[in-house]
Chain A
């Protein structure tokens, strides 16, 4: 056997190993959160932010900080959802959007824009409410289509999700074609590009507790996701209630994705690149991947968003462009460094 293609690592997870693997991810996020508020088209200084009632303070507290904090939540949630979907579908190519959540919520948003509604529900814009409703509707629909005899067969789940993706994409195109005037059309395209601008502190306050609690709850299931990688029978005969696990992770991952997507629109690539990069660096143990992906995904998206708002300032590039252009090459380098097959 060629010994160069792997790095031996201890099988068991000890608190020390948890700290060594998840710690750097948290550190990465911490550094990103500390540094990026100071980067931007307008130069601001610490002293003047501290002074009070200065333009610097406005830029720091109103324009940058909420955007950065929500970016961290968004990147973290999407990366965790990616880990979950890859685990329960046993498919390396699965993303938070594979099962239709993104197109369902896009359809909701586009529909609301088309209706021209301008209402705010409990401080949440109607487009976000509609997007969240669209996502929930999709989750339910996929679930009902795929469910048979109290079980959730993986392949049917995948097919149902992918099919709904196409159906919603077609409906979105139809609304575009049939109904939208230029202004609505612009709003729709803009929404579907995704991005974390226009985020308020109240939006963070509404979503953050939900997200943090969900991730912690899902972490309790992380150990059970490991044997699932070798098949459902393998997991069942090791004492895992596979159907329960799949349901929890499907609903949990979908809700995380739906919550974020309702605010930001679809942001691609984070849910694919971050989990795989972490797997290559820290191994496939889900007890490391879930918290690691939450921190690293958050840091990664904030970094990408900082580039999106500064590279061509004052014009902003959609953050999805950056996640793909920055994440893609990084991931390819990681893949190439490693000999042998990934899976």
Chain B
């Protein structure tokens, strides 16, 4: 097991966001976390990334509690891709990707040839080679998100955690981004955990979906099991038509 989360609860000051949640994630899984706004999806992901402290219950990663990891030790295994990334100073695309090599630093001042190789490799995987030398702040949203993914890949992680990574992208870039994730998952056996509102896109690639509402898991399973009219009503409070996609999967058309 990669992650074993047991009886996890978390609250921001007063309001509880995650409520006695338990979840196990196998190595090599592609898991999509869905649910309405404020359900606790992003919080769960941040807890898994070691970004929040002061929770109850346990988050175990590869047999060890997440709080016992040193930041660099965890960063070598787990990478995190946020919704959006703003950078205050004029860093280039290459420099942003190079930051993914932080947890491997040996010299306090200089970078190595190996760092450079991993940066090139991450750029190739994310189709961002043509952006080399450009300022991160000046490229398009779709390109930026691929660069952020490249920076995460430069960490050579075993697990990728993504928080609504395609929410600001257009259709083409959404599809492209998920195809890259699917390739990483199938070819490199990277564990992928993505929080998303795009049920249709996620369900095409994710082997398992879990739905969270008010901090608890309401349902989980394959897309066939989760994407039913009754379940969607339970999760989102909507009525939806489910149609068969030509490739055999399910497609959700929300109606009210």
Chain A residues in the interface with B (C-beta under 8 A):
1, 5-15, 18, 90-92, 149, 219-220, 222-224, 226-227, 229-231, 233-234, 236-241, 279, 283-285, 287, 340-343
B142 contacts partner chain A, Cβ-Cβ < 8 Å: no
Q: For residue B130, which residue of chain A has the nearest CB? A: A1
**B99 adjacent to A226 (CB under 8 Å):** yes
**B135 adjacent to A12 (CB under 8 Å):** no
Cβ contact of B102, chosen from A90, A149, A220, A227, cutoff 8 A: A227
Cβ contact of B94, chosen from A10, A219, A234, A342, cutoff 8 A: A10
Give the residues in chain B near A229, CB-CB below 8 Å: 87-89, 91
**A13 adjacent to B133 (CB under 8 Å):** no
Give the residues in chain A near B135, CB-CB below 8 Å: 5-6, 340
Give the residues in chain A near B235, CB-CB below 8 Å: none
Known interface pairs A223-B109, A233-B80. Does A285 touch B95 (Cβ–Cβ under 8 Å)?
A: yes
Given A229-B91, A233-B49, 11 more contacts at CB 8 Å?
A6-B133, A8-B133, A12-B98, A12-B110, A12-B119, A91-B88, A229-B88, A236-B71, A239-B71, A279-B90, A343-B89
User: Which residues of B138-167 are within 8 A (CB) of A?
Assistant: 138-139, 155
Chain B residues in the interface with A (C-beta under 8 A):
46, 49-51, 54, 70-76, 78-80, 82, 85-92, 94-100, 102-103, 105, 108-112, 115-116, 119, 132-135, 137-139, 155
Write the nearest CB–CB distance from A219 to chain B, whole angstroms. Answer: 7
Bound-state CA distance A233–B87 (Å) is 12
**B89 adjacent to A223 (CB under 8 Å):** no
29 pairs from A and B in contact (CB 8 Å cutoff): A1-B134, A6-B135, A7-B133, A8-B132, A8-B133, A10-B94, A11-B94, A11-B95, A11-B119, A12-B98, A12-B116, A13-B111, A14-B111, A90-B88, A91-B88, A222-B108, A222-B109, A229-B87, A230-B86, A233-B51, A234-B82, A236-B71, A237-B79, A238-B100, A238-B155, A239-B72, A283-B91, A283-B92, A284-B89
Write the nearest CB–CB distance from B138 to chain A, whole angstroms. Answer: 6
- What 4 pairs across the A-B complex have the smallest Cβ distances? A8-B133, A11-B94, A239-B72, A239-B103
Write the nearest CB–CB distance from A32 to chain B, whole angstroms. Answer: 25
